[in-house]
Amino acid sequence: GQNIDQPTEMTATEGAIVQINCTYQTSGFNGLFWYQQHAGEAPTFLSYNVLDGLEEKGRFSSFLSRSKGYSYLLLKELQMKDSASYLCAGITGGGNKLTFGTGTQLKVEL
Amino acid sequence: KAGVTQTPRYLIKTRGQQVTLSCSPISGHRSVSWYQQTPGQGLQFLFEYFSETQRNKGNFPGRFSGRQFSNSRSEMNVSTLELGDSALYLCASSKLDGNTEAFFGQGTRLTVV
């Protein structure tokens, strides 16, 4: 199976930049997703990387290095509403099966 | 367009009972996946259906089963409920086959007492 590791908790200040790291086993890996989940709500899609490099989307960017089994999510100009759990998920084999990390709970403080 | 709809939103069942959860994917989406989310284990994959066929299956006991209908709606069933089955069950739909964004429903919160 595929293990996906990410920090359990992070704290950052409003207006700052935070980087959430994710490492995974590379065997059979096809792509990596990042989702945001607010408490009591459904996960929502943030980004998808299948090739090495940086994908930028507004205040959110995601980076992937396939050879190193490493990804990160970069959040800029943090806002209080960014306080949420950020889930790293890998897709392997055929189909749409996602293997999730346990999520990083981000707390944005004043 | 309407998102992924899961019913019911909340459910309380007794140990030993069975339960059926329903998921209506986004119109045009043919892939439906089910996940179990608990505080200790996070999101864990249960199974995926594509065009009425189970395509992938996670590491859950046979008490967990599912099916997909011709209109892409899906149901999952859990028989002989255990206390440990208490969780948020999330359904996700995807439009294409593989490597596409999954849209999640609000989930069904199942409590087994």
Q: What is the pLDDT of residues A42-87, one digit of tens each?
A: 999 999 999 999 999 999 999 999 999 999 999 999 999 999 999 9
Residue A56 to chain B, least CA–CA distance (Å): 16
Q: Give chain B's mean pLDDT.
A: 93
What's the rounded Cα separation, in Å, for the pair A90 and A49?
10
What's the rounded Cα separation, in Å, for the pair B101 and A36?
13
A94/B42 Cβ within 8 A: no
Which residues 72-101 of A have a C-beta within 8 angstroms of B? 87, 89, 91, 93-101
Cβ–Cβ contact A33 with B under 8 A: yes
Chain B residue with minimum CA distance to A42: B106
Cβ–Cβ contact B54 with A under 8 A: no
Predicted pLDDT at A26: 76
The pLDDT of B33-54, averaged and rounded, is 93
A92-101, B48-57, B60-69 — most confident range: B60-69
For chain A, what percent of residues have pLDDT higher than 70?
Answer: 98
Q: Is the pLDDT of residue B66 over 60?
A: yes
Report residue A64 CA to chain centroid gap. 10
pLDDT band for position B37 (cuts 50, 70, 90): very high
Residue B23 to chain A, least CA–CA distance (Å): 14
